[in-house]
A = this chain, B = another copy of it.
């Protein structure tokens, strides 16, 4: 399903990136994995296309025609990738999708500008779209970007604070803004493109948000216990970078002795950090179980929201499968 969404959306996405002026086109082609840093063609590793798949599946679930929403799906994917380009600059992340991040190849200036251009390109696609829902979708996407920015701000601010000074509630709120908002927006845009009423659009937004939180929780679990060959990041990279991901914060706030140990590592000198022992301490402090439990809980809330808008199981199947796919990844 993800493959078919990627195949449906990629021509629109490529055409959009090709329409950019030279400098930003190069960054775009590289970022999406269509080109190597030297400009030679690459096989492409442009991400899992979860968000476009959500748009198209939501349209179908609500009885609309997904082929009319391909442009909207591409706009969502461009928006997602605009935030990735900027987040990597802000977080100084050097690896994404098994490759060097765009700013490490093209410099911060070009990565910032390419991100700006991606945001504009997404709005430009929607403005050119003749579908009656395109204007409402554009407004929804723009509001979502503001929430994504707030989420990224909260994330950067949380990372700068002492590990003892962070609560689970604020981490969950941050994850909802940073990840849930766009998955909610993608689902809601699909509903808009199916001409669904306001209540159904809101239910689809809530579905995407809850599934997004489940997705983030699983992503955080994989970031600690996943196989580096699949994650594309070195083993233990998030822990060594002292990332306050959800399982870590659950462990830090667990009141257990293992939690205290993690707080010591997170505040101590880098040479004392051992990602294998840290991962095991987080597990001992209950961080892994907490994250698994809450991922399942968010998933069931997502399913409930979906059932409000799409009560027929055969119509909801594709969206359910998508949500389950992203939360059942175990690599």
**A interface list, Cβ under 8 A from B:** 20-24, 82, 86, 89-90, 108-110, 112-117, 119-121, 123-124, 127-128, 134-136, 138-139, 142-143, 145-147, 149-150, 152-154, 156-157
Contact = CB atoms under 8 A, between A and B. Distances in A.
Contacts of A119: 116, 119-120, 145
A81 to B, nearest CB: 13
Contacts of A114: 149
A112 B112 CA distance: 8
Given A86-B112, A86-B113, 19 more contacts: A20-B146, A21-B147, A23-B150, A23-B154, A24-B146, A24-B150, A82-B116, A86-B116, A90-B112, A90-B113, A109-B153, A109-B156, A114-B149, A116-B119, A116-B149, A117-B149, A123-B138, A124-B142, A124-B146
Nearest to A19: B146
Nearest to A153: B23
30 contacts: A20-B146, A21-B146, A21-B147, A21-B153, A22-B150, A23-B150, A23-B153, A23-B157, A82-B116, A90-B108, A90-B109, A90-B113, A109-B156, A110-B153, A113-B149, A113-B153, A114-B149, A115-B116, A117-B149, A117-B150, A119-B145, A120-B142, A120-B143, A121-B142, A123-B138, A123-B139, A124-B146, A127-B135, A134-B135, A135-B138
A151 to B, nearest CB: 9
A110 B23 CA distance: 25
A24 B148 CA distance: 12
Contacts of A124: 139, 142-143, 146
Contacts of A135: 127, 134-135, 138
A25 B124 CA distance: 26
Interface of A is mostly: helix
Contact of A117 (B113, B117, B139, B146): B146
B149 A24 contact: yes
Contact of A113 (B22, B136, B142, B152): B152
Contacts of A123: 123, 138-139, 142
Contacts of A113: 86, 90, 149, 152-153
Residue of A22, A153, A157 with most chain B CB atoms under a 10 A cut-off: A153
Contacts of A136: 127
A184 B17 CA distance: 24
Nearest to A154: B23
